[in-house]
Amino acid sequence: MGHSPEYERALQRAMRLCARMERSSGQVRAYLSRGVRQRADKGAGAPSGGGVACSSGWGVASSGGEKRLSQVEINEIIEELKRGEFIDDHRFALAYIKEKCNGAKWGEYKVRQGLKVAGVADDVANDAFAELKNEGVLRCEESALAELLRAKYKSISGGNAPDGDDVSAGDAGFCGDGTAASGNDMVQRRKIAARLVRFAVSRGFSYSSAMNEIEKLGLL
């Protein structure tokens, strides 16, 4: 049984979009559910960079009244894209995790949330994380967090980044042995530590990991 012209146009446009960068099946489904407009062929509203596609702005039904696809047609297009290897959620998850962990220095929690927004199933995300960890290609989360906290500390204190027990008394009132700080110094130290914790959590790292790294850096 033949498909409608709208189906064929949507399939071709989805193929072109998926050929440009990795997309998840959830992203493509959201794109197709909103309808496809002619300008999508030229990349209008198409997401750019990073292999992660934000579903908003991918295109809506054209003002010319182009017929929206039915859910049955959308499902068929998704399956056809999978058969042609235009989309593969496991492949998408691998690329997304490597980019966000190694490049953007996100914590695992934030990466998992991003995958969930992209419609990647939890079991697919779990398999992808396990595969990359076993291969040793993911940057150690602790080292990434330590680097982020050192840079953030430097930016908010206006001084050099701390270095564990080598923190000097001149660095925002922090004492190397943690015993000689005055009352005002303790207040300042706690304020900076609290800001660093909030920053770490916002990047997807756990509270306990943040506290451990802050302590290692001599900030507690």
My answer on whether 23 and 80 are in the same domain is yes
**Span 114-122, mean pLDDT?**
97
Is residue 182 domain-shared with residue 111, that is, in the same domain?
no
Residue 75 has pLDDT above 50, yes or no: yes
Q: Assess whether pLDDT exceeds 90 at residue 47.
A: no
Question: 83 and 9, same structural domain?
Answer: yes
Identify whether the C-beta of residue 93 lies closer than 8 Å to the C-beta of residue 124. yes
Q: Tell me which of 37 and 3 has the higher pLDDT.
A: 3
Instruction: Please indicate, yes or no, whether residues 64 and 116 belong to a single structural domain of this protein.
Output: no
**Is 95 in the same domain as 43?**
no
Average pLDDT, the chain: 79
Range of the domain at 126: 90-135
Q: 114 and 94: one domain?
A: yes
Greatest alpha-carbon pair distance for the chain in Å reads 81
Based on the fold, state whether residues 36 and 56 are members of the same structural domain: yes
Residue-level pLDDT at 170: 37
Q: Are residues 124 and 156 in the same domain?
A: no
Domain check: are 165 and 112 in the same one? no
> Tens of pLDDT along 131-183?
999 998 887 677 888 888 999 998 887 765 555 544 433 344 444 444 445 56
Same domain, 82 and 103: no
Write out pLDDT tens, residues 189-208. 888 899 999 999 999 999 99
Total domain count for the chain? 3
Q: Is 116 in the same domain as 164?
A: no
